Amino acid sequence: MSDERAVVVGDVHLGSAGREEEEEAFHDFLEQVPSFGTRLVVAGDLFDFWFEYRSVVPRRPFRTVARLAALAERGTAVDLVGGNHDRWGGSFWSRDLGIPFHADGSDLDLAGRRAHVRHGDGLTESRLGARVLQRVLRSPVAIAAFRALHPSVGFALADVLSETLGESNRSGAAAQQAARAQERWARTLLDRRPELALVVLGHTHVPALIEHAPGRWYLNVGQWMGDRTYAVVSAERISLCRWPERPRD
């Protein structure tokens, strides 16, 4: 039986205007991760915007990046999954920091459970405009065009467009509708892939922990931004928590 304890968090949206308090709380959380987990998985949208040029990375998230690098250097495995706000990473993470970056999600082994982890954008978008935007954001042509901009211009443009990067700002009935659609998608994937014991998503900002079949789960970690929710996956259990709450031993 695995003794790994995988800490899963998502939708932190660091760099959002007026969210400095959230950033400090998240840094405190990162400092404490080794005391209750052996691994950290970020399920997308860690940053409100991230784009990696060949020789330039964003300045604004530097303090968080430094903490993630220190966490990895101290022996805590870290995996980053791209979201609709920060999918455009590259070799900086893996080559320079030793942190695997999964732009569109990945299959991972979490505490002995075979898991499929992805952010979840593009799976349940109901509006035509959002579906079109998802295609644009993944287009090699659009990515190359953005990379051709001077970084100062590109980051300023991203600040203007941040609110349009998908449907991550749902609330009320729309949020619940998206959450139900996401649950259906996860259940279908579990039915189609019997080797999976866990599907982990984010994006809707609605936390969920649902046992699809004995020992097989769908997990949405909700949003750190505002709610400060996270999950811990161990061989014995899966726990949804709210910081500074700690998981049960």
Query: Looking at residues 14-37, what average pLDDT do you find?
Result: 90
Is 100 a member of any domain?
yes
Mean predicted lDDT score pLDDT of the chain: 89
The count of other CB atoms within 10 Å of the CB of residue 241 is: 19
Instruction: Please report whether residue 196 resides in a domain.
Output: yes
Q: Name the pTM for this structure.
A: 0.92
Average pLDDT over residues 207-226: 96
Residue/partner pairs of 199-202 with CB below 8 Å, 24 or more apart: 199/115, 199/116, 200/8, 200/41, 200/43, 200/110, 200/115, 200/116, 200/117, 200/118, 200/231, 201/43, 201/118, 201/119, 201/120, 201/123, 202/10, 202/11, 202/43, 202/44, 202/45, 202/83, 202/119, 202/120
Does 247 reside within a domain?
no
pLDDT for 90 equals 85
- Cα separation, 62 vs 174, in Å, equals 34
Residue 173 confidence (pLDDT): 83
At residue 164, the pLDDT reads: 61
Q: Work out the burial of residue 141: count CB atoms within 10 Å of its CB; fewer than 13 is exposed, 13-18 middle, 19 or more buried.
A: exposed
Number of domains observed in the structure of the chain? 1
Which residue range forms the structural domain that includes residue 227? Answer: 6-242
- Token pair of 230 as six digits: 């996270």
Residue 10 belongs to domain with CATH number: 3.60.21.10
pLDDT on residue 77: 97
Q: Is residue 154 part of a domain?
A: yes
Asked whether residue 249 is assigned to any structural domain, the reply reads: no
CB 36 within 8 A of CB 29: no
- Give residue-wise pLDDT tens across range 109-135: 999 999 999 999 988 766 655 666 667
In the DSSP assignment, the letter for residue 210 is E
Residue with tokens 């998240």: 26
Q: Is residue 26 part of a domain?
A: yes
